[in-house]
Structure 1
Amino acid sequence: MDETTQRVALDDSTARAAAEDVAAALAAQLQRGGEAMDADLYDAWFAADILWGSPYGATVTGYKTLNAIHHRLMNQSTPPTPPPAPASRFEVVSVLAPAPGVVVTHIRRQALAVDGFSEMALYVLIERDGRWWLAAAQNTPIGPATSALPPHPAA
């Protein structure tokens, strides 16, 4: 192995499978909350002291503040301000289990409308007393490919 890098993923197939299950369960929870336009359901895994990075560079600390934002985004009143969150599909892209009780995952939120706003999120989940909590997230808009980096194989 190259001395300048270090692998951080657990070399345990059971831990990897468990991490994949956690990531899939989070994606499913986000999907249910998004489809129902229910901010409380969407945010059900969010820790009280969550750190959140928006796709436009804003940072939010704490469940109460973030949940209030999600309530505004999912508001279905007429006319909604801002517009409600777009219908989307949540897909797990990658998963890493760096330590027991820690999962790091990329989950793509792909808008169902061709011209809809989509984003990739990096989530950090922590297990406490048998329950998984979203401790941190960073969202990045998905736009036309302008990067010199190759696309993800699953894309």
Structure 2
Amino acid sequence: MDTLMPADDLTDELRAISAVVATLEHAQQNELPDEFAGLFRHDAIWTTGGGRRLLGRDAISAFTHQVLPGAMAASTATYEVEHVVFIRPDVVAVKVRQTPVGRDGVPLPGVNPGSPTYVMAKEDGRWLLVAAQNTEVVDG
């Protein structure tokens, strides 16, 4: 991977980026809308898996507070970082594999995975989601 930073710095940044995705997974699985919304920059944009466009952290928070509580009663999802592109040292595009699972962690048969793309920016030493779009993978 071509980067503008030394390999050790790259490893640290990849860990920090993966930690954001892990926090997002934790927030989803545990129905924590404030933790989820706190991952977004104030002016972020997000398109949900259902195609709903949300503009700004306040709108993302309001939507998440409406839909997240109770949404994970029967199933949830795991999130795995598959690919990171450094657009600049402080801006990345992240491709994630989202696997629907039961509360026992076993993948759900017949339920398509998701393929979120996140754009993150590093501000004041912290990676934040700036743009996110979730897309269902219909061909597996």
* Band of TM-score, shorter chain: 0.7 to 0.9
Q: Residue 104 of structure 1 aligns with which residue?
A: 93
Q: Alpha-carbon deviation of 1:15?
A: 4.5
Q: Alpha-carbon deviation of 1:118?
A: 3.1
Distance 1:132 1:51 in 2: 15
Q: Alpha-carbon deviation of 1:137?
A: 0.7
Q: Assess, with a 3 A threshold, how the Cα gap between structure 1 residues 11 and 130 changes in structure 2: closer, same or farther.
A: closer
Kindly provide the CA deviation profile for residues 76-112 of structure 1, in whole angstroms up to 9, marking residues without a partner as x.
2xxxxxxx14411111110111212112111122101
Q: Which has the larger radius of gyration?
A: 1
Q: Residue 54 of structure 1 aligns with which residue?
A: 48
Q: Alpha-carbon deviation of 1:48?
A: 0.9
Q: Residue 68 of structure 2 aligns with which residue?
A: 74
Q: Residue 124 of structure 2 aligns with which residue?
A: 129
Distance 1:103 1:73 in 2: 28
Once the two structures are superposed, the pairs formed by residues 1-155 of structure 1 within 5 Å of their partners are 9-12=2-5, 13-76=7-70, 84-85=71-72, 86-112=75-101, 113-116=108-111, 118-145=113-140
- Structure 1: any 5+ residue segments left out of the alignment? 1-6, 77-83, 146-155
Distance 1:106 1:19 in 2: 15
Q: Assess, with a 3 A threshold, how the Cα gap between structure 1 residues 67 and 105 changes in structure 2: closer, same or farther.
A: same
Q: Alpha-carbon deviation of 1:31?
A: 1.7
Q: Say what the alpha-carbon RMSD is for the aligned residues.
A: 2.0
Q: Is the 8 A contact 1:19 1:95 kept in 2?
A: no
- Structure 2: any 5+ residue segments left out of the alignment? 102-107
Kindly provide the CA deviation profile for residues 8-52 of structure 1, in whole angstroms up to 9, marking residues without a partner as x.
x52542353233213210121012112211111122211111111
* Identity, % of aligned positions: 23
Kindly provide the CA deviation profile for residues 121-148 of structure 1, in whole angstroms up to 9, marking residues without a partner as x.
1111111111221111111112234xxx
Q: Tell me the amino acid that sits aligned with residue 144 of structure 1.
A: D
Instruction: Give the structure-2-normalised TM-score.
Output: 0.81
Aligned length: 131
Kindly provide the CA deviation profile for residues 37-70 of structure 1, in whole angstroms up to 9, marking residues without a partner as x.
1111122211111111222333210111111111
